[in-house]
Amino acid sequence: MLETRLFPDLAQLDGSGMLGSMHAMLKERHHRYAACGADAACKVSASIWSDQERDGLAEAGAAMLQRSKHIAQNEARAGLRREIDGLNAILRVYGQGAVPRYPKIDGPDAAKDKERFAQEVAVAAALSEAGGTVPVIDKSIDLALSLLDVAGRLDAVAFEPLNETHNRAVIERSRTLDWSRYRYTAILLLGIGPDDLTTPLSAGGKLNVRLAAKRYFDGMAPFIIVTGAMVHPRGAHFAEAVEMRRALIERYGVPAEAIVLEPYARHTTTNLRNASRLLAAMHAPADRDALIVSNPDQIAYITSDEFHERNPRELGYQPGAIGKCSSPTELTFRPATESARIDPADPLDP
């Protein structure tokens, strides 16, 4: 499951369909990996894709995906390049100790201890040698997944299959909903992590919950999307979305079937991106706004130039159009289709 969450396009490629130079390249990569023997560090280095290898596989694989997924070849090519770049990032961070994108909350804990880190990389290499549960086109995929597993960073699948379990009733209801009855498609309730490991819901989170519950009972939207992961502080055991959902139900009586769980977002950028994905899964009208409800500081941040510049730098696009503030705690938002794009360079929430 982690493979298809991180590398949905790579997972569809079949090495037997690769002809000529691509078949030779994959064979050469296999020999390079095998030549490392029991040297785990060597296997990590051998698994990293060069730009030439990445571009070659993306070009050849795009033709396959174009036929199977019925998408444009340039779109398929770009997707494969992103996935291979993300694969390389996992190998470098979790296999070589490179600094992750968000060093305060991401990366392996063992990286602080060279001996422990080397031991975990060796275990991951051995785990990958045992074979994966599904065929892969290259050993680098098994190794990257094993590195994440040994590091205990399986965050990306912690709640899967999310929409078939936790959100099933909500999504079924959304398919027959008369959206025209509501001003907004959903209320987006953003999480705020506590400052310690023992507090389930921060003071700021409690404020956001109350604001969202009021707007729900005002009849502004049929759903509340609660979004936020186990992220702050590092090593947190409470998912912001889960705790906000609990508070909405227990404190304010919001019906469970009106709450959409999004427990993966680790940043404000991905709060909006992941909420956009859920709205698409619910078939919410694309020409209608959602309503972001949060504390004044976060609302001000979302409307700032800093946030506008951060999105393309980290996501590669804007996750949606930010509207005007209707109050210091409310802001309209219209999702963008680009939010469906998978980002394995952020392996804890792709």
Select from 126, 120, 197 the least CA-distant residue to 153.
120
pLDDT at residue 215 is higher than 70 = yes
Which residue(s) pair with 225 in the sheet? 188, 260
Distances in whole angstroms, Cα of residue 182 to Cα of each of 209, 216, 223, 253: 20, 10, 10, 20
% of residues, the chain, pLDDT over 90: 80
Question: What is the band of 148 on the pLDDT scale with cuts at 50, 70, 90?
Answer: very high
Per-residue pLDDT tens for 13-44?
A: 876 666 567 888 999 999 999 999 999 999 99
Specify the pLDDT at position 223.
Answer: 98
pLDDT at residue 251 is higher than 80 = yes
Question: What is the band of 236 on the pLDDT scale with cuts at 50, 70, 90?
Answer: confident
Specify the pLDDT at position 35.
Answer: 96
Specify the pLDDT at position 157.
Answer: 96
**Pure H helices in the chain:** 2-6, 20-34, 40-47, 51-69, 73-96, 114-129, 139-150, 168-174, 203-217, 240-252, 268-281, 296-302, 305-314
Q: How far apart are CA 223 and CA 175, in angstroms?
A: 13
Q: Choose the weakest-confidence range: 80-94, 122-136, 158-172, 181-195.
A: 122-136
Question: What is the band of 69 on the pLDDT scale with cuts at 50, 70, 90?
Answer: confident
CATH fold for the domain made of 162-340? Rossmann fold (3.40.50)
Domain assignments of the chain as residue spans, ordered by start: 2-153, 162-340
Specify the pLDDT at position 234.
Answer: 85
Residue 226 contacts residue 201 (beta carbons within 8 Å): no
Residue 265 contacts residue 294 (beta carbons within 8 Å): no
Residue 139 contacts residue 82 (beta carbons within 8 Å): no
**Average pLDDT of the segment spanning 314-323:** 96
Q: How far apart are CA 290 and CA 221, in angstroms?
A: 8
pLDDT at residue 259 is higher than 80 = yes
Specify the pLDDT at position 18.
Answer: 64
Q: What is the DSSP letter of 34?
A: H
pLDDT at residue 1 is higher than 90 = no
Q: How far apart are CA 151 and CA 301, in angstroms?
A: 33
Question: What is the band of 55 on the pLDDT scale with cuts at 50, 70, 90?
Answer: very high
Specify the pLDDT at position 22.
Answer: 80
Question: What is the band of 195 on the pLDDT scale with cuts at 50, 70, 90?
Answer: confident
Question: What is the band of 167 on the pLDDT scale with cuts at 50, 70, 90?
Answer: very high
Range 151-165 burial, b when 16+ CB lie within 10 A, else e: bebbbbbebbebbee
Residue 308 contacts residue 249 (beta carbons within 8 Å): no
Tell me the DSSP string of 83-127: HHHHHHHHHHHHHH-PPPSSTTT-S-GGGGSHHHHHHHHHHHHHH
**Residue in this structure with the two tokens 């909903």, named with its chain if needed:** 177
Q: How far apart are CA 122 and CA 147, in angstroms?
A: 9
